[in-house]
């Protein structure tokens, strides 16, 4: 059975279960001839093990009641008509039944369930049973703890902002969980002002990364933590002494492999790497910086991302003396960021050109600080040979060993030379890259750094 077919079958089974639960709750409430004394007697269906839905339910360790709440929240997205029985009106009051909860917004013509709807199905009018339903929506409950329900983000479809009773909250599945539970795909948030982080990938592999042996060994420590931290924290019982996260500072000149290393750590361990755009994170409006960062940290924690802060000096730099209200607020932002970084249970990598630019309060909290130096002549030769390897077309007399000895360039600068030389060859109709094209590209890079004037 394919994953998509298994997903459809899982949703069909859950919807049928919800339909039975709604029908039974209505029969019990209106005094019809019920087939059971309470809805909880309905056993949840056995789901296809290969479906992403079943895997998510197992990972979150949901009880039968929590599963029913989950499919109730999903119903408007997958089969809204199953909730149509709640649209009936109280003939005596000419008003919807308040016991059913829910609402109908301007952008949703059907019935949208609230937590009150779940309470009606699971508890009816039993106050004792309703108390148990309240626990399903507590902050430490699985549905809230795993970010399944967008509890605090939920608003009515018509945009109104109201003060609600606890069970008056609309049942909204968070965007990342909605994607997994419907299509089976992982949610990729849209990069922009509201979410200042972008997924970064690379087609390269570890063999393409040229680093000194001691630096590579330090990097492998991070990889080992990603792969074995659960063993250390749980099997070895170190959770009492060691926090679950790992924080590392990559520092060194531009183009020395900091971003590529972070990306390869994600690629080799199956984790997504998101680069946080600090220019979009910092806001002139009070409180917005914390909100922007909170969105990123919350998503990263739920989806097990590696967070990569490039040019981290902008937010993690040394704090100045608070001589004005703006200075004091800037320091509050840094304090907030420091706390989120320290509490983050995953891997955070900060990149900076200079180690001394990072605030000491942050530096003390790093598990590793890795210096990415400029490559030596032997490493530069490997970079030249790797960059201009086949299928790149280069004239036979290109002496990369001489270039490696003569010019102190980073790996990033050598890639820039490759780009320039290849474009030059194409523009001039050359069948291959000439040595003169490469040398001209080198001069361009040296001029960028101010090492030559012409």
Q: How confident is the model at residue 448 (pLDDT cuts 50, 70, 90)?
A: confident
Question: What mean pLDDT do residues 411-430 have?
Answer: 95
- Between 318 and 15, the higher pLDDT residue: 15
Contact of 373 with 252, CB cutoff 8 Å: yes
At 33 the pLDDT is: 73
Residue 281 pLDDT level (bands cut at 50, 70, 90) = low
| pLDDT, greater one: 332 or 116 | 116
Residues whose CB is less than 8 angstroms from the CB of residue 333 and which lie 6 or more positions away in sequence, other chains included = 282, 289, 290, 315
Task: Give the CA diameter of the chain.
Answer: 95
The residues, ordered by sequence, that sit 6+ positions from 245 with a Cβ below 8 Å of its Cβ are 342, 343, 344, 345, 346, 347, 348
CA dihedral 287, 292, 295, 300 (to 10 degrees): -130
Angle of the 64-78 helix axis to the 175-182 helix axis, nearest 10: 90
| DSSP for 76-125, written as a single string | HHH-GGGGGGGG-EETTTTEE-GGG--B--TT--S-B-BHHHHHHHHHTT
Cα angle value 95/100/104 (rounded, 5°):
65
Of 66-70, 101-105, 240-244, least confident by mean pLDDT is: 101-105
pLDDT at 311: 80
Question: What is the pTM (predicted TM-score) of this model?
Answer: 0.76
Domains and their CATH numbers in the chain:
3-182 (no CATH), 197-371 (3.40.50.300), 377-448 (1.10.8.60)
Q: What is the model's pLDDT at position 386? A: 94
> What is the per-residue DSSP string for 153-168?
T---TT-------GGG
What percentage of the chain exceeds 90 in pLDDT? 54
Q: What is the rounded distance in angstroms from the CA atom of residue 350 to the CA atom of residue 156?
A: 39
Asked if pLDDT for residue 201 goes beyond 90, the answer is yes
Q: How confident is the model at residue 324 (pLDDT cuts 50, 70, 90)?
A: low
pLDDT of residue 154: 43
Predicted pLDDT of residue 306: 97
CB atoms < 10 A from the CB of 429, how many?
Answer: 6
**pLDDT score of 133 more than 60:** yes
Q: Is 333 exposed, middle or buried (0-12, 13-18, 19+ CB in 10 A)?
A: buried
162 pLDDT more than 60: no
Which carries the bigger pLDDT value, residue 313 or residue 233?
233
Express each pLDDT in 330-357 by its tens digit: 566 667 777 888 889 999 999 988 877 7
Instruction: State residue 158's pLDDT score.
Output: 46
Give mean pLDDT, residues 35-41: 76
| Structure confidence at residue 286 (pLDDT) | 56
CA atoms within 13 A on the CB side of 282: 14
DSSP 451: S
Q: Residue 327: what pLDDT?
A: 55
Least confident of 99-113, 126-140, 158-172, 206-220: 158-172
Q: How many angstroms separate the CA atoms of 387 and 420, rounded?
A: 12
Q: What is the DSSP string of 371-411?
A: E-PPP-HHHHHHHHHHHT-TTS-B-TT--HHHHHHH----H
| pLDDT for position 321 | 53
Share in percent of the chain as helix, strand, coil (round to 5): 50, 10, 40
φ and ψ of 312, to 5 deg: -70, -10
């Amino acid at each position: 059975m394919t994953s998509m077919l298994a997903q459809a079958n899982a949703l069909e089974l859950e919807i049928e279960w919800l339909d039975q639960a709604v029908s039974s709750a209505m029969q019990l409430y209106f005094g019809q001839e019920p087939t059971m004394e309470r809805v909880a007697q309905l056993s949840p269906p056995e789901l296809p093990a290969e479906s992403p839905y079943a895997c998510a339910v197992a990972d979150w360790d949901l009880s039968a009641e929590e599963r029913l709440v989950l499919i109730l929240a999903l119903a408007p997205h997958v089969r809204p008509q199953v909730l149509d029985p709640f649209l009936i009106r109280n003939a005596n009051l000419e008003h919807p039944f308040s016991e059913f909860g829910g609402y109908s917004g301007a952008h949703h013509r059907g019935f949208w369930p609230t937590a009150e709807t779940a309470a009606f199905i699971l508890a009816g009018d039993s106050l004792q049973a309703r108390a148990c339903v309240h626990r399903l929506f507590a902050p430490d409950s699985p549905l809230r703890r795993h970010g399944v329900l967008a509890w605090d983000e939920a608003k009515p479809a018509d945009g109104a902002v109201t003060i609600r009773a606890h069970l008056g909250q609309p049942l909204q599945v968070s965007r990342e969980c909605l994607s997994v539970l419907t299509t089976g795909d992982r949610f990729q948030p849209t990069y922009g002002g509201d979410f200042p982080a972008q997924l970064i990938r690379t087609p390269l592999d570890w063999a393409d990364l040229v680093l000194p042996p001691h630096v590579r060994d330090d990097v492998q420590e991070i990889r080992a933590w990603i792969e074995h931290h659960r063993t250390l924290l749980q099997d070895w019982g170190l959770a009492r002494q060691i926090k679950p996260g790992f924080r590392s500072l990559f520092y060194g000149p531009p183009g020395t492999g900091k971003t590529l290393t972070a990306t390869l750590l994600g690629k080799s361990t199956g984790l997504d790497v998101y680069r946080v755009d600090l220019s979009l994170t910092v806001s002139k409006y009070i409180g917005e910086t914390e909100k922007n960062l909170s969105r990123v940290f919350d998503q990263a924690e739920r989806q097990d991302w590696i967070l990569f802060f490039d040019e981290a000096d902008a937010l993690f730099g040394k704090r100045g003396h608070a001589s004005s209200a703006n200075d004091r607020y800037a320091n509050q932002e840094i304090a907030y960021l420091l706390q989120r970084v320290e509490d983050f249970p995953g891997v955070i990598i900060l990149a900076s050109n200079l180690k001394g630019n990072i605030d000491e309060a942050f530096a003390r909290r790093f598990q590793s600080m890795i210096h990415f130096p400029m490559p030596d002549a032997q490493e530069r030769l490997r970079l030249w040979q790797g960059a201009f390897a086949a299928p790149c077309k280069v004239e036979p007399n290109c002496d990369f060993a001489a270039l490696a000895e003569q010019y102190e360039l980073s790996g990033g600068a050598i890639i820039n030379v490759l780009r320039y030389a290849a474009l030059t060859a194409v523009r001039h109709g050359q069948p291959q890259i000439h040595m003169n094209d490469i040398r001209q590209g080198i001069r361009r890079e040296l001029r960028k750094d101010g090492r030559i004037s012409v």
